[in-house]
Chain A
């Protein structure tokens, strides 16, 4: 089984660890596949404007450099750790209301997709690029400091057909509603700090190859989740 984490942020957005160090951290811990998914924040709200102003978001002008850096580090990760690194982004639409907020991972994207577009346009463009679409932390989270992102879950009838998988577990939370609806699922750390390495992860039973991984997640066969810990009791 491949040990995978498809939800990782670096200092390209609001993560505290640089890309190179992030890759080393996961490589040293024996991961097989990771996706770097820094935020692309919608500019529609005040929060979004501030995030873009202070560079807590990937923007159109640095997107190519971001992809190139991931590709460079991906080669190094493969040579050194035999770890596959996928490029991605987290489309971030934040609002003061949980019901209007939504985050979506687009994994293996090739060209910039703006978070200011409406969801239908984002999903269609992502499909065109054969990117994997994952709705992340779709239900109530246990963290008091974050605003829940419920929009996609509340509009699941409209959007579920576009979404390849839903995050059934994110960092320390488990969203049992995904299981009840029998949606395809993965788990991710939503890595921002080093301690987030120890969190929910995805295990895949497939080849360590990008198309096989996407197929495995879309068909949701051979997918398992595991709570990754460092093995040393507290």
Chain B
């Protein structure tokens, strides 16, 4: 009996040290992410400081797919009307007139009568991706050779268009995208969202660019030439893909063109999110990464040292060294997130970073669930996600169809 406990204790100790080593490795990767963010911010400042004002200001068509009332929608749309740029048009695309965002866009149009703002209402059902369905009518009506896809929850500074167009002077540039910074949190759900955007998402995008020269395309803000988009099949070619932005970038790169990360950041305003919205969005994004990256997605858990350290609690229970490990890792990770927040001017209260480890634990659960489930709920509809994020409707008949009905029923009961 004694030898049994001894061997169990030794096994637990071994696993504890394995988990500790992995957590430390995770913290080292987070440290590298911080270096990458710092380097990006410094390069951005330098490039903005040294580059002279260019005369390259071709007209741009801004495509805004709108649906529902995003936080700060009025202010977000207004920021696009206040651009210091000679010629551009804004095409707000809706599925129907009854969308409450239509009213907000109409108010903006009335407020800026001199701006070229079009409200396009077309219930296009080209594919299963609702965002692409809205982009297609806007794309068909766009007048200018440069197309900028911009999400409704994005707020920009007046020099945004001048900054994003700069890399397009190089004819080898095919697509320009921006880093996003989460701002404006007033609820716990928004706080988690902004903490995650400003640490995990931002850190990873900078890390991949800096150390592996892999540019990630962020669909919230991407500029490309109309000719290039047409040569890869237009938006129609991406109508059934969940990760349309990623695959647009991939196809542009396969054509031998560069995908550039602009030196400026755009704000993603998240003010009044509930926890369910945060959960749903990152479950969807997790599934996208799982379907795009395949088995490599498993290693993503390495970038979450807080979640890793928590495994020691499961293995060994609440011993003093376990609690010490979790607290130390949580503190270091929170401090790292705070540092990035300061660097990017995230304007988040320092006490908010105390919740960073809790957010990381939730993200750990999401990481696991993303692998376990192959459906996604987007804008109220459930889809099956297949290889390369191809969407398909969930079957209504067949032996397994009942499980989708159970999931929908549960979701409706929880109002998620």
Interface residues of A (CB under 8 A from B): 3, 21, 25, 27-30, 81-82, 194, 228-234
B107 at the interface (CB under 8 A from A): yes
Q: Are B75 and A30 in contact (CB under 8 A)?
A: no
Q: With the chains together, A232 CA to B415 CA distance in Å?
A: 12
Interface members, chain B 254-286 (any A CB < 8 Å): 272
Q: Are A28 and B186 in contact (CB under 8 A)?
A: no
Q: With the chains together, A59 CA to B69 CA distance in Å?
A: 35
- In the assembled complex, which residues on chain A have CB atoms less than 8 Å from the CB atom of B381? 233
Contacts A3-B103, A30-B100, A229-B100 hold; do A82 and B69 have CB atoms under 8 A apart? no
Q: Are A231 and B69 in contact (CB under 8 A)?
A: yes
Interface flags for B101-113 (1: CB within 8 Å of A; 0: not) read 1011011001100
- In the assembled complex, which residues on chain A have CB atoms less than 8 Å from the CB atom of B101? 231
Nearest CB in chain B: distance from A19 CB, A: 15
B68 at the interface (CB under 8 A from A): yes
Contacts A21-B186, A29-B73 hold; do A231 and B68 have CB atoms under 8 A apart? yes
Residue of B nearest to A25 (CB): B272
**CB < 8 Å neighbour of A234 from B107, B186, B415:** B415
A selection of 13 A-B contacts at a CB cut-off of 8 Å is A3-B103, A28-B69, A29-B100, A30-B107, A81-B74, A81-B107, A194-B272, A228-B100, A231-B68, A231-B98, A232-B68, A232-B380, A233-B380
Interface members, chain B 89-103 (any A CB < 8 Å): 98-101, 103
B396 at the interface (CB under 8 A from A): no
Contacts A194-B272, A234-B380, A234-B415 hold; do A28 and B72 have CB atoms under 8 A apart? yes
Task: Add 18 more A-B contacts to A27-B74, A30-B106 (CB < 8 A).
Answer: A25-B272, A28-B72, A29-B73, A29-B100, A29-B104, A30-B103, A30-B104, A30-B107, A81-B74, A82-B107, A82-B111, A194-B187, A194-B272, A231-B67, A231-B68, A231-B69, A233-B380, A234-B411
- In the assembled complex, which residues on chain B have CB atoms less than 8 Å from the CB atom of A27? 74
Nearest CB in chain A: distance from B273 CB, A: 10
Q: With the chains together, A8 CA to B339 CA distance in Å?
A: 39
